[in-house]
Every structure is written in C-alpha cells, then in structure tokens.
Structure 1
Amino acid sequence: MNRLIRQLKPYPMEELNRIKASLKERGIKIYDFGTGDPKEPTDQKIRKALIDAVPEVSQYTSVAGRAELRNAISEWFKNRFGVELDPDTQIIPSNGSKEAIFHFPLVFIDTDQPEKNKVIFGTPGYPVYERGTLYAGGMPVPVPLREEDGFLLRLDKLDKSLLQETKIVWLNYPHNPTGATASLQYFQDMLGICREYGIILCSDECYTELYFDEKPPSALQAGIEGVVVFHSLSKRSGLTGYRTGFVAGDPQIISEYRKGRASFGVATPDFIQKAAEVAWSDEEHVEKRREIFRRKRDIFLEFFDKIGLEYLYPQATFYFWIKAPEGMSGEEYAKHLLQYGIVVSPGVNFCAGIEIMENRCSSDYFRIALVPTVEECMEAVRVWEKAHSEI
C-alpha cells in the first residue's frame, strides 16, 4: 500500500460516524453538527423527475453525460455568473464534486516529471485535495490559511521556486471549513500568478449558492484559460445522496479530463442526470433552502454571542468556524460537548495529513455544520449552554 496514504489518519467523517454510533448505543440523544449532510427534504419536483426517469431496462451511460443536462448547466452558469460555456466542450457532469476533485490529479500529474508534480491547497481544508494528490503520485503542499488574510490562500506570499514546481492549485471559496469568501479581484490576482507559472487553477465552488450577503463569484469570471471549476448539487439542492455535479472550464483541460474519466467508471446514471437537469433549472427551491440556513445561522449567531465564543462571521456556506474556550483546544472542547450529545468537528480534522504526521498541526478551532432542523437547533443550544457552563 502507498506508504503516505497508510500513515494518514482515517477519513475524519468516518471517525465521526463511529463516535455517533457509540453515543447511540449509550442512549444519548445526538445533535449532529459534524458531517455536512443537511436534513431538509429534497424538493418534490426533483424527486419526481428521478422516479419518472428510472428505466425499465438499465444500460450504460456516457461519461460525457446527457446533452440536455449539459445545456441546463450552461444556461444556469450564464444566468448565475454571466459566463457562457459551450455545453459540448466545456462541461462534464460528475458524481458530485468529491469524486471529480479526487480524480483530477490522476489525469494531470505526470509522475515522469517530478520537477512539476506539486499540488498546493489551503489548510484547514477539504481532505480530498491532499488524498487525491497522494493517490496520483503527486506531492501535496498544504499552505496554512491565516485569520489575518481572511483565510485566503495567498499565492503571492509563496516562494517562486515552489510555484515553478507546482502543477495544480486548489482554491475553495466559499470555504470549508471556515465559511470565508473571496472577491472576484482575488480570483483575478491568483489566476495571474497561476498563468505566470503554468499552473492549473482548480476552484472548488460547491458552496457558491449558500450565501447570506453578496453572491460569491466564480473563478471562471476571472478567465477561462487554465481554469477549471467544480460544482455540486449536494449543498445547493440537498442532493448529497444523489451524487451529482459538474466540472467546467478551459476546453483543452476539459477535453483531456474527459478522456481520463472514461477509465474511472464514473458515468452518471440517466435517472440521476434527469433529476439534476430539473435541479439546475429551478431556483425557487434553492431560495427556500438559503432562508432555512439563514434562520439556523441566526440562532447560533445569537447563541455564540451570548456564551462568549469567538467565531468567523459566516457570509456563506452552512458552517461556523469557532474558537474553543481559552485554555482548550478544539479537540478538547469537542470531546467535552460529546458527553452531552453535541457532535462537532475538531479543527484538527481539517489539517492536512502530512501536517499531522510531521506534528505541524494544532488547532484552537472547531467547525459546526448547520445540519439539524431549525427546531433541533433551538433545542441543541439549550443543551449546549448547559454543557458550556460545566467546563
């Protein structure tokens, strides 16, 4: 087995699942703010489209996807970001964003060119950027994100020698786990650096549709050449279990990626594509979801201010990035909350595995995902307040 992968800690969400199972066995009521898998029902129109599309005879589908779905995505992207994408050459449907992000380095990391095999991403961050790199034989380079930089990945502060050896940069704004957002000017600045050093700019835009203030931009608004974006219906439309999204951008990169994806067995089933087509073509259900998450967010804004926990104000996503009480690490506070059935994700879960292996990771933070219903959130804060008073 790949040595580096063998040394990584278990995928953090799997660890959370084991902890939750243990709590259930002990009869403790669980308020799960750990895994980002909201409970709101999937819109009826989308469910009906999927059911109606289940065929009598099941057959293989193409990795290129249905033309109708690509057209719907193209239309949505133009309406949302003002960017025109050719549905035939610039869009590929994917099974959510995770598998597409994981597979991307397998196509574009050339193991015969070790002088250009580095992949840069921010930490704390989504674990898949690192793990996909390791499986592809590339060298992951986690870059600590600083509160003073607004948790933005600043390529302009990195050594030129590192940039010269980099093949891929992952940006993720709105950001998981902090909820930080980025401006269009930021994307323009980072793209300029990537083009200067021959780096593919990959932008994970899974959370652009969960916003509370200004609409977050897409990296493709900064430019097309050398840019690939990854979108998903998991959070926008509550389709986490459907596993459906898309990859879009530079037509040359998309062409090469499509060829590689034909080897991975990731063609999306037709009935999922039909449901996705309906989801991308409708905004009403998305607006309703945003309003629900705003209500949840406001509950916790008031609660954290009341008990005195510091947090990054969430302008987007359904996450809070919170600093543990003084004298405690995020992990210690998370373990304390577990005794009361409150499940949160310690900040260490979002450190890169290489940082952990080299003892370069410590975190005063923890993350909550606004997963429970509005009513459960109101109930949870009462339990949490008691837990917090008994530290």
Structure 2
Amino acid sequence: MKAAEEFLNPVVRAIPPSGIRRFFDLAAEMKGVISLGVGEPDFVTPWRIREACIYALEKGYTMYTSNLGLKELREEIARYLSQAFRLRYNAEKEILVTVGVSEALDLALRALVAPGDEVLIPEPTYVSYIPCTLFAGGVPVPLPTRMENGFRISAAQVEKAITPKTKVLLLAYPNNPTGAVLNRQELEDIAAVVREHDLVVVSDEIYAQLTYEGEHVSIARLPGMRERTVVLQGFSKAFAMTGWRLGYAAGNEAFIGAMTKIHQYTMLCAPITAQMAAIEALRNGLGEMRQMVRQYNYRRRLVVNAFKELGLPCVEPGGAFYAFPSIRHTGLSAEEFCERLLREERVAVVPGTAFGPSGEGFIRCSYAASVANLTEAFRRMGNFLQRLRKPASASVLRA
C-alpha cells in the first residue's frame, strides 16, 4: 500500500497549515500567555442575543431551514444593508445565509472561478484567501502592498496585474491583517478598472462596522458594480459572535443561485438557533455593537501610541481590530521575533509572513483584548525590545 499522504489531493497536500493557528497552538501549551494573536473579540455575545437563542431552543426550533436561510433573517439582513451601507438586495433571491463568512468566501470562489482563472489578491492577505482560491482550481495572483502607502492597493496596481486569464478581484477592506481601509475615490478608481476589463469582485466586508473614521464604502455601491460584486458580511466580529458561525453573502441572483447550489449539497443550511439569534442582533443589538466598536477605537489609539513609544513604526489602522507594526530594525525575522517574544515574555502575536511574503518584517497584533491585557503585553514587549538592544549574551530564555 502507498503511504497515506500519497492518496491525498496534491493541492491540499501542498498547502501549509495556518500560520495564525501555529502560534495559537504554541501559546495554548504555555502558562501565563497574553494572546494578541487570534482575531477573537474579548467580549461575550450580548445577553439579548444569547437569550434569543435560548428562547428558540425552548420553543423547539431545532429543524432545518431553507437553504438560503430563514426568510425572516434574510429580510432583516436586507433592511440592515440598506440602512447601514446603502446596499439594496432582494431578500428572496439575492441573500444567502452561510456558516460563517469563511463558507461564504469558499462558495463565492467555487461558484465564480473555473480551473486556471486568475484571482487578484492584495497582500498581506488573510490566510484563507489563497488556499480557497487553490481549492477552487484558481490561480492566486498576489498584489503586494507597502507600509509607505498604508498597505492600500491602487487602481494602477490592479490594472498592471491583469492578464487574459484574470477573472476575480478579491477585496478585503477594512483589512485583516493591516487594518487598512480604502476611501471612496480609491474604490472608484479601482471600480473603473474592473468595469473596463469585465472582472468580478468578491468583497469581504466582515469588518465594515469597525471603520473608525468616516463611513464604510462598499465597492458594490458604486456605479456599475452591484451586478459584478459579491458582498460578504457576518456577525462574528461586530456582534462578538465568532463561535456562532454565521455569515451571509449578497449579490445578483445568478451569483447567489450558483453559491446556493454548492451550499445545499455541502452544508445544507446554517444552524437555526444561530439564525434566530442573528435576527435579534439586527433588530435590537445595534446599540451593544456600537458600544463594542467605541471600545475597539479606544484600544486602537492606545495600541498605536504604545508601538510608537516602543520605537516600532506602525501605520494607524483605519478599521478592523489589528495593528501591523514593523519590526525590521530589530534584525530579527518576523518568525524569530514572534517565537522569542512568546517564549521569553509570554506574549503571542502573529508573524507578518503568515499573511504572505510581503508581511516579512511585520507582526500582527490584535487589540480585541482587554485594556489591562494590552497594557501588560506592551510592558512585556518593552522588556523584550530592551534586551534586544543589549548584547545577545544578556538575553535569558525562560523555559
């Protein structure tokens, strides 16, 4: 018999495990670790949302729903998208409820991408984008961004990367891991290139509510873009509902119909109790959501100032809950920096290389953590950096 690995799909075999999870697993084996690595809100899902789930169970809501999701939830999503982002979709045919935004991303790429199609992906990039493109048979084409321009892609960069095989532009703003946002003019310039070359956009807007200055602008709002864009949104980040695994996609009927075909044969539907809770979140949970966003904004300023005081250059994130400071001047690679910080000071952050080669020289730090933990983490990081400035012999590795 062949070795078990030889039976595996070569695409799957070639993809490495998530760089985020590697450090998360390392941290889990140690005591006294402050983790700023995983993008998980430190808030508990607001009580009114949890209560809606409990009440749904008590009333016996334990069955399948429509493949598209509960009609009542889709109507609330349509209303919310219209009021919050001026995006208008038909709840009957243009909204699909998914098991997290991760499933929505996978469905969108599998529905749109044929073998050999190229997908343009700004980098540093969230860890799922390239693997999901490969699973769909597509060819990921990274668009490296730089600290000097705020980790934002430009229309010129998109146009330069386009070939006859290019089909999809995958946008993710506010961005994970950099916190970058694109303003309306930048999006309009990119949209013009997309229309000229007849591309499709998959726009991951899971952090849309976590935009700290001005309003979030979806590229789907711009002229000629609604019919060629799939918008991905969800409840995990803004409503502190990561473990509920509930997201959604909005787009034209043909795109959503194709995604639903895959969804109905693989996942069938999202859990009904999570959908009932999400209805309550959209109807009565916006106040709690805004309170959490205000707290993230406070922590954002605290973290940026802390990095500046430590001498680590950091672009001020305009959205999400991540900072992406440069550690180049330390002389350590991103991996070395993160491993030593974890072992010596029990602080877990993620090396920028987990998000692609252009992340070398950077680390991702999540500020979805309490102020007390952030303050202590930066004290420990200061100790670590101070030792780095001394001769190597002065460093003591704690077991």
TM-score, structure 1 normalization: 0.90
* Deviation, structure 1 residue 31: 0.7
1:387 matched to 2:384? The reply is yes
Deviation (angstroms), 1:156? 2.8
Give 1:348 shift: 0.4
Tell me the residue number matched to 2:253: 251
Aligned equivalent of 2:309: 306
Q: More displaced, 360-369 or 271-280?
A: 360-369
What is the match of residue 129 of structure 1?
129
**1:101 counterpart = 2:98:** no
TM-aligned CA distance change 1:210 to 1:390, over 3 Å: same
- 3-state secondary structure, aligned to 1:58: coil
Shift of 1:388: 1.9
**How many pairs were matched up?**
375
Is 1:289 aligned to 2:296, yes or no?
no
Matches within 5 A, 1:12-51: 12-24=19-31, 29-51=32-54
Q: What is the RMSD of the two structures over their aligned residues, measured on CA atoms?
A: 1.9
Distance of 2:318 and 2:383 partners within structure 1:
28
Which residue of 2 is the match for residue 368 of structure 1?
Answer: 365
Task: Quote how far apart the aligned CAs of 1:133 are.
Answer: 1.3
Aligned to 1:357: none
Q: Work out the CA distance in 1 between the residues paired with 2:219 and 2:129.
A: 17
Offset of residue 161 of structure 1? 7.8
Distance 2:204 2:163 in 1: 20
1:235 is aligned to 237
Gaps of 5+ in 2: 1-7, 389-399
Aligned partners of 1:169 and 1:310: how far apart in 2? 29
The percentage of counterpart residues that share the same residue type is 28
Which of 3, 16, 23 is equivalent to 2:10?
Answer: 3
- Please report how far the alpha carbon of residue 240 of structure 1 lies from its aligned counterpart in structure 2 after TM superposition: 0.4
SS at match of 1:23: coil
Contact 1:191/1:201 (8 A) holds in 2: no
Q: Contact conserved, 1:163 with 1:197, CA < 8 A, in 2?
A: no
Closer/same/farther in 2, CA of residues 57 and 150 from structure 1, 3 Å limit? closer
1:196 corresponding residue in structure 2:
196
The structural deviation recorded for 1:159 is 5.9
The question of whether the paired residues in 2 share the 8 Å contact of 1:103 and 1:132 is answered with: no
Determine if the alignment matches structure 1 residue 272 to structure 2 residue 274. Answer: yes
1:168 is aligned to 2:168: yes
Find the aligned partners of 2:305 and 2:145 in 1 and give their Cα distance.
27
Structure 1: give runs of 5+ residues left out of the alignment.
352-359
- Paired residue type of 2:20: M
Please name the residue that 1:261 is paired with. Answer: 263
**Which secondary structure state, in structure 2, belongs to the residue aligned with residue 97 of structure 1?**
helix
* Residues 351 and 359, structure 2, Cα contact 8 Å, conserved in 1: no
Question: SS at 2:381's partner residue?
Answer: helix
SS class of match (2:142): strand
When residues 79 and 278 of structure 1 are mapped into structure 2, their CA distance, relative to the original with a 3 A threshold, is same
- TM-score normalised per structure 2: 0.89
Contact 2:124 2:358 in 1 (8 A): no
Cα offsets for 1:254-282 (capped at 9, x unmatched): 22222232122151121111111111223
Structure 1 segments of 4 or more deviating over 6 A? none
After superposition, what is the alpha-carbon deviation per residue over 1:90-119, rounded to whole angstroms, capped at 9, x for unaligned? 2111111111112322222223xx4xx111
The 1-side partners of 2:150 and 2:379 are apart by 31
Q: Which moved more, 1:42-51 or 1:52-61?
A: 52-61
Partner residue, 1:350:
355
Q: Given the superposition, is the C-alpha separation of residues 157 and 303 from structure 1 closer, same or farther in structure 2, using an over 3 Å criterion? A: closer
Which of 85, 88, 105 pairs up with 1:84?
A: 88
